[in-house]
Structures are given as C-alpha cells and as structure tokens.
Chain A
Amino acid sequence: MFKQKKIARSVLGALVGALGLAGAGGAWAQSGPDCGLNTGKPATGEPIPIGAVVGKTGPDDFSASGQAAAAYFKCVNANGGINGRPVDYIVVDDQWNPETAAQVASKLVKDRKVVALAGSTSFVECGANAKMYADEGVMVIAGTGVPRECFNARNYVPVNAGPRVSATIAAMYAAQKYKSKKMVCIIPNIPSLGNWACEGPKEWGRKNGVEVETIAIDPGSADATSTMLQAAAKKPDTIIMNVPKGILVPMLAAAEQQNLGKKIHFVSSAPAYNADVPKAIGPYWKGNFDVNLEFNPVESAGPDNKNWIAVMDKYGAKSDPRDTFSQGGYVAARIVTQALLKMDPKKIDRAGVTDALRKVSDFRSDILCKPFYVGNGNRHNANNSGPVASPDGNGWRFAPGGCLTADDPELVDIRADEQKMGLK
C-alpha cells in the first residue's frame, strides 16, 4: 500500500515537473524580442515591398539605420509578419551623390513599387527626391534627416530632431547652465544647411537676450585652426559646434591646441554623440563639452530601448553599430509596422499605406522623449526634444533634467499642427 502511494506520488511529481518544464519552455519561446504580432511563426504570404535609401559610401557611413530596420523587419517576418504577409525590405546606397540618390530612389519607387520607405538616412536624398516622393504619393519615415529639405517636405518624416532643433537645445542648455550671453555657431556651408541650421539658436537667442553669430565653414577645408581662431576672435562665452563628427574631432583638436577651452564653453548638436568621440577628443574636454541628443541614450534601461538591443542581437549582424542611427532606423521600422498592422492585409497598396502613415498620431517609445506623430501637415518635425550628455573618460555622462524641448521660433507651424491634432 505504502509503496504504491510512494510510486504514485513520485510519478505525479515527475509529471508535474515535466509539465512545469514544458510550460517554462513555452514561456522561454515567448521571451524573445517583441516585434509585430509575436506569434513566433514565420510569415508566408505575399511579400510587402518596403525600401530605404542610406548614405553609405562617402564622408560618413549612415547604413546603421537601414541595418536596424532590416533586423526589425526580419524579426517581424519571423513572428507572423504583417497579418501573415512578410516584409520585403530593400536598402540601397546613394553614395552621398544626389544623382545616384535620384537613380536608386527611382529604382525603389518605380521599379520595385515599394509601398513606403522606412529607415532612410541620407545627407543628399531629401533634396534630390522629395518632389518625386510627393508626385508618386509614397511616404518616407526616415531614421535620420539632416538638411532643411528633410524637414520641409510633405512626404518625408524624419524620426530625429534635426540639426537646427538640436543646436537650439544645445544653446538653451548653455544659457541655462553657463549663463552665456554671446555665442558663436559653427556650421558647414552646404547650401541647405549653412543658411538654416544655425538660425535656430540665432532666432531663439534674439527672443531671449542672447547674441548668436554664425560661422559657415567649408567642410573640405584643411584648416580647422583658422576657423577656431575666427570664432574665438568674436569673444563668445560659448561656441556651438553644429558639424558632423568627422569634422568635429579635428576642430576640437585645433581648439585644444589653442587652449580655447580655458575661457570658452563648447556645446554641440547631436552628431557628436557617438561611442568613438570621447576617446578621440581626449581628456581635455572632460567637463567642458555638452552634447544634445536626439533620442534617449543608447544605454538607457527603458523597455523599448532594450527591445531594440535584443532585436539587434538576435536578428542583426554583430558588426552592425548600435548607435543613434540604429535607434532611428528601429523606431522608423516600428512606426511603419504598427501602421501596416492596422490595415487589411489583402488591401495593402501605396495609397492606403500613405493614408495610414499620415494617421499615425500617438506613437510611444521610450527611445523618444515625447509621443511621435505624422499628421497631414506640409512638413514634419515631430521630434523636437532631447537630453544632454557630456564625455566622461571613454563614455558619456548624462545631465540631470532629462529631455529639453526646443523653443525654436520656426517650429510655430509644427506647434499649430500639434494643436490641431489635439496633442500637447
């Protein structure tokens, strides 16, 4: 009698144990990254073509944006796709050449008939292609936009804040922390950047009693020292660097050699926030260089940020950078996926997708400071806040105070659109 009970109990125990393990195993299968429908089953329907134009070969490599979006779409395809249909994601390199950008965009839009573009990041394609995108009725949710044309087009929606907004926040921070009254803003003299991106701090300054002057530099110039001396000759309290990181490093090196950091504070817009910059600029700038970020930090512990890392680890290559371009590409892919999931899978065509994307209005992610929206406006700059960081040894230290919102007078039409959409 006793023996039988013992055996029964041990068998029961084993069964429960096995069931428990099976249950736990099932839970493990669900604890991968969170993408799309999360069914765990690959999608097998008719593919949906989505494209991206990235600037890979040239003065800088922006391809991390396309790589992150590709990883996210791979994850979505492995988890049921868009209501059963996988995404066919095509990334092309515009080689930083506007003519090539027009050709490859033509290929995506007219030959491959993409329903939308997601995760594009290019310095040159906005000006070259904005009109074609508007004429063909296709929307672009870009990972990162840089020149003015990216933020002044009906069909182009950058997820980032842009150099003008970022420089304005940097200027606001300097006025707040260092009580600066006179600033100099340095910007490359590329046509739709040099006459636009430093106007943000300038116009903000005019309304807030801060004098801001602009120096436009030739990005191909071999002489950083003269530029820094020219800036210093204007006797500012703060110098706002609004240049790509490849030019930032030699300019800060020149400033260090002239010991300008002794009397002048240096701040910068978002391109300086990169894992390699603190080591490249060296210990001289510790405590005297503040950078505005367009997204929350790469190491932040928010759930969506962690999901991004998880997606990259599982579906991206080990050599893909995990930087701010990657964050932008991931967010763009998420926005497009969410909009597509709301559509009828049998009726996904370009016009429908464009409509669905324009309706995006309360997209939340802890990578972004505030909820994102697209809307019906003639231009898009929904992301206009960000935190501030400063280099600390080989890494970054984050300023208390979290996200600052830009008070750029040019954003008045964006604020009006936000009011109309009922957002705060």
Chain B
Amino acid sequence: MSASILNDAPVQGIAAVPASLAEASRRAHISLAVMVGCVLLIGIAVPWLANAYWIKTLTSSLALSIAAAGVALLYGQLGLVSLCQYALLGAGGWIALRAGHGLGWPFELSVLAGGLLSCAVGMLAGLPALRLKGLYLALVTMMMAGGFQVVINVMGFPDGGAGWLGRVFGSERLMMPRPALALSDAAYFRYVAVWLAAMLALIELHRRTRAGRSWALIRRGEAAAVAAGVNILRYQTWAFGLAGFCAGVAGALLAGGVGQLDGRAFTAGDSVMLFALTVVGGVYHWAGALIAGLLLRAVPALLTDFGVNGYLAMIFFGVALLHALITAPSGIAGQLAGAFDAVRKRFARGGKEAGP
C-alpha cells in the first residue's frame, strides 16, 4: 500500500527538495564568501585612500566591530542583553598586554590568550542569564561593568613594567609590540581586517550549524527548546563564551593598534554605548557590526576633525541614537539590506520584462 503511494507521488515534488536544499546551501556559501570578501576588500582598499589619522581611527573601528559582532550575537540570536562587553574587551586587552610585554609571546598568541580569558569570564557572566532575563540581566551585567571600571581604574594596564601589574615607573610607557608582518599602521589595518573577517566567519558558521539552531529554539522559549532536546545550559553559556571571545580579541587588537590602553577609558557607560550603537547598527546582519564600529570611532573622529565642539557632538549622538532606535528596529544595516533588496528586485523585474 505504502509502495503504491510512493509510486504515485509526483516525481518532481520529491526530486525538488534536494534541489532547493542545494540551492539554499549554495546561496549560503555565496553570502559567506561575500561577507569575507567585503571585509578583505575594505582591508586592501582603505590604506591607499586614507591618511594616518583615518587609518588609525578605522583600525580601532574594525577592532570594535569584532566586539559589536559578539554583542549582536547575544542580542540578535538569543535576545539576551549584555551590558558588560566593553569590560570584557578591557580584560582581554589586559591579558594581551601582559603577555606581550612581560612574557614576550608572539602577537597572535597574546590575542588568543586575551580572547580565551574573556571567553571564560564571559561564560561566568552568562551564568546569571540562566535565571534572569531581559532588563534584569542587563542591570546585572552593568553592575559587573561598573565593578570592572573601578578595578581597572586602580590597576591600570600593563605598559612594560615588571611585577604582577606590569606598570612602569620612571621611564616612558612602552607600546605593545606588533606582529612582525604588521608593523606599520597600514599593514596593521589589513591585519585587523583579516581577524575581523575570520571572527565574522566564525560567528556565521556557528549560526548555520547546530549551535545556531539551538539558539533559535532557546529564543523561541525555554519550553520549546527543552522539548526539542536542546541543552540550554550548554548552548547559552557557549553563546556568552563566544561573545566574550569576540570582545577579548577586539581588546587585544585595540591594544596593538593604539599601543597602550588607559584604565580611565573603560567605564560602565562605554559598555552601555557599545550595546546601544550595536543595536543602532543592526543586530541581524553582519554589516551591522561594521556600522557599529564606525559609529563608535569613525563618526566621533569625523566630528573632531571638523572641529565640532565635543558637547555638541554628544547632543548629535544622542539625537542620532534616539532617531535610529525609533525608526529602524533592525538597525541601519537592516535598512540598507532592505534598500538593497528593493533595488535588486526592481532590476530582476525589469530584466524579466525586458526578456524575449
């Protein structure tokens, strides 16, 4: 009986499923390649076009884009708000500086060490998320950021000295040694672009595999996730760990770019701004992380370049933040993607009509 049903089923219907799956998989590969390609293209093109001021600024922008990608992962995929990611960035930077100055590790190892420490701390920070949700989680992570602010203010960042804290006393502060193939500002910019492409690809791969599906189920609701057999503890903690890893890597790359980090620049307010501008950039698309990095560093630098009074720039930022939150729920990247799609459909329709 069942055999006859199978025999009678339209051949096209069954054969179409693998075909459309292959099509979807091909499109997924293309979009991944496009993403990596765009970032690498930026890495190649910008040093030719920009002057020293802008290369430095955009290097910081790209490094912060990595941290923003982590924030977007937590909020976009899981709906969890973490207001301590900038503190994790600082922690990663601290480890990288200490390893670079004191232990003389190669740059890549320092970056990974920074990333791994922030990954571990991020997972710890994510434990409350199992019990707290929404605004409460946001507040708790903000308290952690506040605590880090006080600690780092007192400890400062390693700058070439001896001892556990690694602070120098009596001579000039040392800059973090850069990787051998990226000593100049332009070369370092390309180096950071490569790291950004790698991190974005890492997140994207997570999204397409089991982790991404588990996160989507967790976001739907814990009951649904448990019913489907998802280990909530493991996948939620993994997400926090991945976001922490992004922040740590970003901190290490920022330290390499600027040469040193200053304990006064890691306030709780900075973590909140990172989250706010990531939401403005767009949490559902990889370009949102890039836009967030630009908003965090390039736009203030532009205003400074034009000599705009710092406080008027603050007003402008506040208005821009309000406007973006009110008018663009999926961020600027979402608006751009929507516009892109509309243009593409226009052309596709035009092409079809123009056909024979």
Q: Report the stretch among A126-134, A167-175, A306-314, A416-424 that lies at the interface.
A: A126-134
Nearest-Cβ distance from residue B67 to partner chain A, whole angstroms: 14
For the complex, give the distance between the alpha carbons of A57 and B300 in Å: 12
Which residues of A lie under 8 Å from residue B170 when comparing CB positions?
152
Identify the stretch in A91-99, A297-305, A349-357 within 8 Å (CB) of chain B at 4 or more residues.
A91-99
Chain B min CB distance to A69 (Å) = 16
CB distance from B26 to the nearest CB of A (A): 42
In the assembled complex, the Cα of A99 lies from the Cα of B64 at a distance in Å of: 13
Q: Nearest chain-B residue to A190 (Cβ)? A: B264
Residues of A within 8 A of B258 (CB): 98-99, 102, 128
Q: Looking across the interface, which residue of chain B has its beta carbon closest to that of A95?
A: B310
Of the listed residues B254, B262, B300, B305, the one surrounded by the most CB atoms of chain A closer than 10 A to its CB is B262
Instruction: Name the contact of B51 in the complex, choosing from A104, A111, A153 (C-beta under 8 A).
Output: A111
CB distance from A270 to the nearest CB of B (A): 22
| B 255-287 to A, binary, CB cutoff 8 A, 1 in contact else 0 | 000111111110000000000000000000000
Is A191 a contact of B57 with CB atoms below 8 Å?
no
**Cross-chain contact B52 with A57 (CB below 8 angstroms):** no
Q: Does B30 contact A (CB under 8 A)?
A: no
* B304 beta carbon closer than 8 Å to chain A: yes
A window 404-423: CB within 8 A of B: none
Closest Cβ–Cβ distance, residue B90 to chain A (whole Å): 12
Q: How far is the CA of A4 from the CA of B311 in the complex (A)?
A: 76
Chain B, residue nearest A99 (CB) = B258
A131 touches B172 (CB 8 A): yes
Q: Counting CB contacts under 8 A, is A394 at the interface?
A: no
Give Cα distance in the complex from A56 to B167, angstroms.
27
Min C-beta distance of B61 to chain A, whole Å: 11
Distance, CA A360 to CA B53, complexed state (A): 31
A106-B53, A107-B52 given; A95·B304 CB < 8 A: yes
**How distant is the Cα of A97 from the Cα of B310 in the complex, in angstroms?**
12
Q: How far is the CA of A26 from the CA of B22 in the complex (A)?
A: 92
Q: Does B156 count as interface, using CB distance less than 8 angstroms?
A: yes
With A103-B57, A128-B260, A128-B262 in contact, do A191 and B172 touch (Cβ < 8 Å)? no
CB distance from A252 to the nearest CB of B (A): 24
* B 141-162 to A, binary, CB cutoff 8 A, 1 in contact else 0: 0000000001001101000000
Interface SS of B by simple majority: helix
CA distance A131 to B56 in the complex (A): 16
**In the complex, which of the residues B172, B261, B311 has the most CB atoms of chain A within 10 Å of its own CB atom?**
B172
In the complex, the answer to whether A100 meets B156 with C-beta atoms within 8 Å is: no
In the assembled complex, B220 has its CB within 8 A of some CB on chain A: no
**Bound-complex Cα distance A210 to B265 (A):** 37
Could you say which of A103, A104, A127 has the most chain B C-beta atoms within 10 Å of its C-beta? A103
| B202 close to A (CB within 8 Å) | no
State which residues 125-143 of A face B: CB under 8 Å. 127-128, 130-131, 134
Q: Judge whether B309 is part of the interface by a CB distance below 8 angstroms.
A: yes
Contacts of B237 in A (CB 8 A): none
Nearest CB of chain A from residue B40's CB, rounded to whole Å: 24
Residues on the A chain within 8 Å of B265, using CB:
97-99
Which residue of B156, B169, B264, B307 has the most chain A CB atoms within 10 A of its CB atom?
B264
**CB proximity of B261 to chain A, nearest CB, Å:** 8
The smallest C-beta distance from B262 to any residue of chain A, in angstroms, reads 4
* Residues of chain B with a CB closer than 8 A to A134's CB: 172
Q: Any chain B CB within 8 A of the CB of A124?
A: yes
Are A93 and B310 touching (Cβ within 8 A)?
yes
Residues in A neighbouring B311, C-beta threshold 8 A: 57
- Measured between alpha carbons, how far is A127 from B261 in the docked complex, in Å? 10
Chain B residues contacting A124 (CB-CB under 8 Å) are 262, 264
Candidates B52, B56, B260; contact of A127 at CB < 8 Å: B260
Give the shortest distance, in Å, between A93 (CB) and chain B (any CB).
6
Bound CA–CA A103/B60 (angstroms) = 10
When the two chains form the complex, which single residue of A93, A110, A195, A218 contacts B304, counting CB atoms closer than 8 Å?
A93
In the complex where A92-B304, A103-B57, A149-B173 touch, is A110 in contact with B310 (Cβ < 8 A)?
Answer: no
Tell me whether B173 and A131 are in contact (CB under 8 A): yes
Tell me which of B53, B259, B300 contacts A111 (CB under 8 A).
Answer: B53
* Chain B residues closer than 8 Å to A103, beta-carbon distance: 53, 56-57, 60, 301
- Minimum distance in angstroms from B171 CB to a CB of chain A: 7
Residues of the A chain whose Cβ atoms lie less than 8 Å from the Cβ of B305: 107
Q: Which of A99, A107, A131 contacts B175 (CB 8 A)?
A: A131
- Chain A residues in the interface with B (C-beta under 8 A): 56-58, 92-93, 95, 97-100, 102-104, 106-107, 110-111, 124, 127-128, 130-131, 134, 149, 152-153, 189-191, 195, 218, 220
By Cβ-Cβ distance, the 7 closest A-B pairs, closest first, are A57-B310, A107-B53, A110-B52, A98-B262, A191-B156, A111-B51, A106-B52
Can you list 15 pairs linking A and B with CB atoms under 8 Å apart? A93-B304, A98-B260, A99-B60, A102-B56, A103-B57, A106-B53, A107-B51, A107-B53, A111-B52, A131-B174, A131-B175, A152-B170, A153-B172, A189-B154, A190-B264
Q: Apart from A95-B300, A97-B262, A100-B304, list 20 A-B contacts with CB within 8 A.
A: A57-B309, A57-B313, A93-B304, A97-B265, A98-B258, A100-B301, A102-B56, A103-B57, A104-B53, A107-B51, A107-B305, A110-B52, A111-B51, A127-B262, A128-B260, A152-B170, A152-B171, A190-B153, A191-B156, A191-B263
